[in-house]
Chain A
Amino acid sequence: MFPVIDLGPLALQAAGLLLILSIWLGLLLTGKFATHLGTNGDVIENGILYGFLSGILAARIGFLLTHPSIFMENPLSIVSLTPSMLDVNFGILAGVLVVLITYQRKHLPLWPTLDTLSPLFILAYGGFQLANLADGNAYGLPAELPWSVYLWNANRHPVQIYALILTVGLLIWWLGKTRLTKQNGFYHSGILFSVTVAGLAVITLFTQAFAAEKHLLLGVDQIQLLALVLLAGNLFVIYKLGIEKPKKVMVCISMGSNLEPLDNLYNGSQSIAAQFKILNRSGIYQTKDLREGHQDRHYLNRVLQIETALSYPDLITKLKEIEQAHGREPGNKEIVPLDLDALTYGKQVFCNQGRQIPEPGILENGYMLLPLAETRPEFRHPATGESIAELIAKLPPDEKDIRKIEEVKDGTEG
């Protein structure tokens, strides 16, 4: 137990410091992860910060509201800098609410955002255990073991250390699965988050058995019960998101060609129609090939909206087969009879083995974004929640300079 850290004249509360440090580290990882996933790191981080500050403010105000006489006596107590007069529960409630409202207003997508926050959950949990260790809270049952710690006049299970070791293990798993934040590790948004929370639930369920203070509800420890319910909930979510036979997924495919493009686009559409159900198609857009020595070549592009039950890896394989059936030579970037890119895969957000969904090119290429806007004007970016209008506004100016050469009538001909 080490409640205070002495730094010369300053005595710092170790628990608070450790918790803040852990959350800071968690936010660092979250930020890095957001960059690689393509989710809106700034909004996510800011949301947490606003929530934290609002929480502290609400905790103070909440306390004074329940004890108005204290406020009447000394109105300045509202800005008192001492870590006292705080209604912690109210503060947490308000903080979480502020985070939710901030995310909601920015239309952040639920599962990709939670995936992005998963390292913060692990680190905050670890920080909480460290804080307990520092203050001697959540201490263990008396036990004479070679690794017992002497605390509160007895040798005890070092419960907080059990939890810390397991949490570090979970963090190492997380870092390995995401290859140090470079990828999601799963092909469905939300699974990384659910597995993380399930892991924390298991750690709690297991270590809480060795805690000295237990509050029973229906004969079982309340905290263990909550952990078990959380575990069950997440196992169910994992099943729903990733295991259950997928319903049809809506995929937007960008089709392009710079060799006899009109023919190839037409034939390409036919091949796609033979394998998948086509929901909608855009008109045909022309872009110049701006590469050195190729200015005489034009690309024609369009976007097809299809439905499929294939998994993402299987879908990519199928698209490659179709490309090669139309004469595409792998490695030949000059002459492209047919190019098929999956821009989106349902609402999923992931980045595995070098492939990122949604396709990052949507944010940079007019030939991807503009036809997409035509087929799906109500589109919101699965990773950031941005609308079509917001995405187009962010395009580099010369990317908008694209000619549409064929209108599409009722979305079925072109």
Chain B
Amino acid sequence: MQKKRYIPIASLILLLGLVWMLLTPITFPGVQAGSSQAAHQGFHAPDFTLLTPEGQAVTLSDFTGKPVLVFLWASWCTVCKATLPGLEPVYQEYAPQGFEILAVNMTTQDTAASAISYFQTQGYSFPMLLDPDGEVAQQYQMHALPTSVLIGPDGVVQKVVIGAGMNGGELRAWLDEVLTNGQGE
């Protein structure tokens, strides 16, 4: 292509790009996610109230001001059972600082009996909640187990991990950041 043709064409392309970029904040302004609820990074964590096996009601929004891990699991899920033991020592260490783990059992895919029996045998010190209607499973878009949802003190979802990616090390790293800056990695 000749220089004579190229320079005007290239300049036009750049000009159009510049105009598009400058107009974008006006015609397509970004939307703050924290205003709406969804189980995804940046959104407000959907609130729920579930019962412990003992019948005690636990509401997520009660824990505002503290970092929370909502852990969706089932007693037949091998990866869940491999992950949970690693969470216990972290819980013990950080609970005094306000950290909470809510182990929500997907009771629609499990039986309350097996879930309770497993949890008690392992002797975990964090609360287990039952989700017999699948309310949390649906709100939190549960595709596979385990699903770990890390929620900051402001109630905003900071990270969602599906599968084996949540372990003691990852959790500690997140907690260290959150408790210092309010915002994890």
Chain A interface residues (CB < 8 Å from chain B) = 1-4, 6, 11, 13, 63, 67, 69-70, 73-74, 77, 80, 82-85, 136-137, 139, 141-142, 152-154, 202, 205-206, 208-214, 216, 219-221, 224-225, 227-228, 231-232, 235, 238-239, 242-245
Contacts and interface: CB of A to CB of B under 8 A. Distances in A.
A231 B13 contact: yes
B36 A152 contact: yes
Per CB-CB distance, the 3 closest pairs between chain A and chain B, nearest first, are A214-B30, A152-B38, A84-B165
Interface of B: 1-3, 6-7, 10, 13-14, 17-18, 20-22, 24-25, 27-31, 33, 36-38, 40-43, 141, 143-144, 161-170, 172-173, 176
A67 B169 contact: yes
B3 A243 contact: yes
Most chain A Cβ neighbours within 10 Å, of B14, B30, B36, B176: B30
B20 A70 contact: no
Given A213-B42, A228-B18, A70 B24 contact: no
Most chain B Cβ neighbours within 10 Å, of A142, A208, A225, A243: A243
Given A213-B33, A214-B25, A80 B17 contact: no
A205 B36 contact: no
A11 B161 CA distance: 13
Contacts of B40: 136, 139, 152
Given A202-B17, A238-B6, 8 more contacts: A11-B162, A67-B172, A77-B169, A82-B165, A205-B17, A212-B31, A213-B42, A244-B3
Interface of A is mostly: mixed
B21 A11 contact: no
25 contacts: A3-B143, A4-B143, A4-B144, A13-B162, A13-B163, A70-B169, A73-B169, A80-B167, A84-B167, A139-B40, A141-B31, A205-B20, A209-B27, A212-B30, A214-B25, A228-B21, A231-B13, A232-B14, A235-B14, A239-B3, A239-B6, A239-B10, A243-B3, A244-B3, A245-B3
B21 A225 contact: yes
Contacts of A209: 20, 24, 27-28
A220 B1 contact: no
Contact of A235 (B13, B20, B22, B36): B13
Contacts of B164: 82-84
Nearest to B5: A243
B173 A243 contact: no
Nearest to B169: A70
Nearest to A82: B164
B24 A224 contact: yes
B33 A4 contact: no
Contacts of B43: 152
Nearest to A245: B3
A243 B164 CA distance: 53
A215 to B, nearest CB: 8
Contacts of A141: 28, 30-31
A74 B168 contact: yes
Most chain A Cβ neighbours within 10 Å, of B1, B28, B143: B28
A142 B31 contact: yes
Contacts of A67: 169, 172-173, 176
Contacts of B21: 205, 220-221, 224-225, 228
Contact of B163 (A1, A4, A73): A4
B143 to A, nearest CB: 5
Contacts of A137: 41
A392 B163 CA distance: 55
B29 to A, nearest CB: 8
Contacts of A221: 21, 24-25, 30
Contacts of B14: 228, 231-232, 235
A176 to B, nearest CB: 18
Contacts of A243: 1-3, 6
A360 to B, nearest CB: 28
Contacts of B31: 141-142, 212-213
Contact of A85 (B7, B13, B28, B169): B169
A228 B16 CA distance: 10
B16 to A, nearest CB: 9
Contacts of B10: 235, 238-239
A142 B42 CA distance: 15
Most chain A Cβ neighbours within 10 Å, of B14, B21, B22: B21
B114 to A, nearest CB: 18
Contacts of A4: 143-144, 162-163
B48 to A, nearest CB: 15
A152 B28 CA distance: 18
Contacts of A216: 25, 30
Nearest to B86: A74
Contacts of B17: 202, 205, 227-228, 231
A6 B167 CA distance: 22
A63 B24 CA distance: 36
A3 B36 CA distance: 21
Contacts of B36: 152-154
Nearest to B37: A153
A244 B10 CA distance: 13
